[in-house]
Each structure stands twice: as structure tokens, then as C-alpha cells.
């Protein structure tokens, strides 16, 4: 058995579904079901005894300790995090609480549990912490991609909170010997992503004929990683990664935000032709840029390839088509997750930006 935190969110839910399908072993899934955590993401596992869902907060050390003693997991895979940069700008305290204090609490309980294991179980145990490329800061147009030795330079409250968590995980390995592994991934996309993020927001808005808000000049660059490839990489790092190591996971797909939005529009033109909107790209609206918006991220995943034999299987073009198809086929899911609170958030984040 493994313990997964944040397993009802976007990446966590995809990981849990993939794990049960591919590894066949049980998962204890701890998620506090904040706005982006959705039990509906796991409905296919409702009658599956291999999936044990527990509603709770990683900051609740009593609960975490009980779960570890009861289920005796061979590993913890830590996805639970506040993850949206814009939300961190409007409310950084929640990010510090979950991403820093929560990770600290989880590490403390993991260390206490690990210390009670017999030597063979201690050797096999892993604490895998899932992090982000944003901890490395921003790249210039011609700078080499981030590697595992790139100095940290976080520029948003979200990135700073994840950087702090990364440092804690590293310290618990070097100080206490806890067998930790950290993975830093690039921008994920795919099914089940909450519609505040770029790709699902643009798909949903375009499908509904709404404006497509693009920050600044739209030329900020991100490396895009299909969520299924990310889940496969995490499983591989858990199985074969070396304790104390960090592994970058990227999709080899650098795109400007404008390229991504135009690609979505072209797919919508094909899938949902409309006499009212012959070209969905006409919905693109440039809005005031995000404060401190990093210009470019790029990931060098050579270490994953050389040490663990991993490469992304999905090309961006095919992964994006699969993603657009999923959202168009699951607009009922979108309606269920985009509550009044979400609509209030959209108003908070975009209403005052206006057109650039």
C-alpha cells in the first residue's frame, strides 16, 4: 500500500487512477477536498476496495499519524498543495499553511512512522515529494533549460512556498536519513484539471463563446507535460529513484501562451464549427499582465532519461487534442466544479484587468 496526499485533485487523481490500474496495489488517499479537490474525479473507484479515501488535512498530524500506523504504507506520494499562482498573489497565507506547514507536518509524522519500521522496511520506504519548475525562477529566451542543479529563485508566493517545501524535504533526508525523493515537473495539462488553469479555462470559454483572456503580450513560455506522462514518471521515480535525489520531469514542449491558445482555438474550429464564431481565435482578449509574471520556463529531463529510462510518450499536439475532446465530452463535470465560489474568483482575478 501507498499513501497519496491530494489524491482528489488534478494530478493526484490521475495518479491514483493510474496507480490502481497499473500497479494493482491499494492506495490510501488523503485529501481535504478544497475547491480543486473533487471526489467525482475518483467515481470509477467508488466500489474498488483497493482505494481508501480519507477526507482530511495534511496539517492534522494526529490524523496523519493514525493513517500511517493503521495502513503501514511502503511509500508516501505527496501531491497535496495549493498550486495556482494567481490565487497565491491574492492570498499567500493559505499557500504557506498548506505547502510549507503541511509538508513539515507530513515529514514529521513520516519520520516518526519510519523510525518504527524494521531495517528492511526502512530501506524500502520512500517519501516522494511532487514539486514544480517554478522554484527555479524565470529564464531568458536563450538560457539553457532548468536542471536539478539550477539555483532556486522563486518569484511568486506559490513558487516560494514550494521552494520552502523542497528544502524541508531535502533537509529531512540529509539530517534524519528519511529516504526522500523530489520531482520537479513542468506545466501539466489533461483531463480533470480545474478550469482556473490556462488550458481548461480556454477550452471551456471558447466552447461557450466567451472571451479568452491572455495575459500581457501572450509570449510567456512554458514547457507542457501531459498528466499521464507525469504520472508514469512519478511511478518510475518511486520505484527506481535514488533516495536524496531530485528529478526534473518535462514534456519537451516549449510553447508561448499565445501558441497554446491558438492551438486550442484551431481544434475548436474543427470540433465545434459555428457560423457565429467562424474562428475561435477572434475571442482572444489581451488583458493586464500578472504581477511578476515569469517569462519562460524550460525543463531539462535528461537525468530522468539517463538514470530511469523515462521519456514523455505524448506529443503536445496529440495530448492537447485528447484534452480538448475530454472537456467537450465532460461539460457536466465542468459545470459541477465551477461553483459560485469559482465564478467569484474569476471576477476577482480578471474583472479589473481590462484589455491590454
Q: Say whether 133 is catalytic.
A: yes
CB 163 within 8 A of CB 153: no
Selecting among 57, 86, 113, 158, the annotated active-site residue is 158
Q: Say whether 134 is catalytic.
A: yes
Query: Which three cell numbers, joined as nine digits, stand for 36?
Result: 480543486
CB 11 within 8 A of CB 186: no
CB 298 within 8 A of CB 250: yes
Selecting among 31, 82, 86, 134, the annotated active-site residue is 134
- In angstroms, rounded to a whole number, what is the distance separating the alpha carbons of residues 129 and 124? 16
Query: Which three cell numbers, joined as nine digits, stand for 259?
Result: 501558441
| CA-to-CA separations, 69 to 109, 209, 220, 223, in angstroms, rounded | 10, 51, 46, 39
Selecting among 31, 133, 166, 196, the annotated active-site residue is 133
Active site members: 133-134, 158
Amino acid at each position: 500500500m501507498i499513501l497519496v496526499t491530494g489524491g482528489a485533485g488534478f494530478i493526484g487523481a490521475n495518479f491514483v487512477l493510474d496507480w490502481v490500474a497499473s500497479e494493482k496495489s491499494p492506495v490510501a488517499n488523503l485529501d481535504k477536498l478544497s475547491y480543486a479537490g473533487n471526489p467525482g474525479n475518483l467515481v470509477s473507484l467508488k466500489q474498488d476496495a483497493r482505494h481508501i479515501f480519507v477526507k482530511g488535512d495534511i496539517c492534522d498530524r494526529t490524523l496523519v499519524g493514525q493513517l500511517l500506523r493503521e495502513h503501514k504504507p511502503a511509500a508516501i506520494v505527496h501531491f497535496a498543495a495549493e498550486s495556482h499562482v494567481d490565487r497565491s498573489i491574492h492570498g499567500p497565507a493559505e499557500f504557506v499553511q498548506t505547502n510549507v506547514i503541511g509538508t513539515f507536518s507530513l515529514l514529521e509524522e513520516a519520520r516518526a512512522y519510519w523510525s518504527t519500521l524494521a531495517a528492511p522496511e526502512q530501506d524500502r520506504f520512500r517519501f516522494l515529494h511532487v514539486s514544480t519548475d517554478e522554484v527555479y525562477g524565470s529564464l531568458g529566451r536563450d538560457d539553457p533549460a532548468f536542471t536539478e542543479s539550477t539555483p532556486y529563485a522563486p518569484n511568486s508566493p506559490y513558487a516560494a512556498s514550494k521552494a520552502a517545501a523542497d528544502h524541508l524535504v531535502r533537509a529531512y533526508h540529509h539530517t534524519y536519513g528519511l529516504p526522500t525523493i523530489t520531482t520537479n515537473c513542468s506545466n501539466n495539462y489533461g483531463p480533470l484539471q480545474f478550469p482556473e488553469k490556462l488550458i481548461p479555462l480556454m477550452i471551456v470559454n471558447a466552447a461557450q463563446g466567451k472571451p479568452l483572456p491572455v495575459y500581457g503580450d501572450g509570449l510567456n513560455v512554458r514547457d507542457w507535460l501531459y498528466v499521464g506522462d507525469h504520472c508514469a514518471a512519478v511511478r518510475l521515480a518511486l520505484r527506481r529513484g535514488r533516495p536524496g535525489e531530485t528529478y526534473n520531469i518535462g514534456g519537451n514542449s516549449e510553447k508561448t501562451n499565445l501558441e497554446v491558445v491558438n492551438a486550442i482555438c484551431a481544434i475548436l474550429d474543427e470540433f465545434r464549427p459555428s457560423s457565429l464564431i467562424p474562428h475561435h481565435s477572434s475571442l482572444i482578449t489581451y488583458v493586464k499582465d500578472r504581477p511578476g509574471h515569469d517569462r519562460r520556463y524550460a525543463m531539462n529531463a535528461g537525468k530522468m532519461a539517463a538514470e530511469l529510462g523515462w521519456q514523455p510518450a505524448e506529443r503536445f499536439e496529440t495530448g492537447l487534442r485528447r484534452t480538448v475532446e475530454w472537456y467537450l465530452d465532460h461539460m457536466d463535470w465542468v459545470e459541477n466544479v465551477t461553483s459560485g465560489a469559482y465564478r467569484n474568483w474569476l471576477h476577482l482575478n480578471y474583472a479589473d484587468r481590462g484589455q491590454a
